[in-house]
Amino acid sequence: MAAQSRQQTTYRRVVHITHAYLGPAADRFIDRQVRNHLNKEPEDITLKDLSHLTDWIRLAVSLLTDDTEVVEEYIGQLEQLTKETRRQKA
């Protein structure tokens, strides 16, 4: 139960970060990345998936904008989340 809650938090935190860039499209965007590239249900993502998911997100967002600063800022926040989650787990 605790593990499930942690996983859910990870997903929610990814969506929360994404919301600052994609607004109302954030949930749908993350759900699609997880389902299409990780072949999982969005709520089932774990810490192990975060780094892989970040790579896919970088690729996808690069298709949405030419502004590399925005892409790097967004990806930086996702990488920071990965580090924090790892630290919490340790």
Partner 1 sequence: MVWFVILTVITVGLALGLPPDPQTLHNLHITSLAYRAAIAVLLIPFGIIWYSAFYAFAKLSEYSRAIKDTADGKAFQKVMMGAGVLAFGLIVPTIITLILQNIAIHHPHIKPAITILSNYLSIAVVIVTFAFIGVGARYLSSTGDLHRPSLIGTYIFSFVFIILSVLFTYLVMHFHVHHPNIYYLNTGFLLSTFVVPYLFGWCMALFGAYEFWLYAKHVKGLLYRQALQQFAYGITVVICGSITVQFVDNTIAARATHSLGAILILEYIMFTIVGVGLVLMAMGTKKLKKFEEV
Are residues 81 and 50 in contact, defined by beta-carbon separation less than 8 angstroms? yes
Q: Which of 10, 14, 17, 21 binds partner 1 (CB under 8 A)?
A: 21
Contact range with partner 1 by CB under 8 A, out of 7-15, 18-26, 41-49, 78-86:
18-26
Q: Compose the 47-86 pattern: x for residues touching partner 1 by CB under 8 A, - for all others.
A: -------------xx-xxx----x----------------
For residue 31, CA distances in Å to 2, 25, 41, 57 come to 22, 10, 8, 11
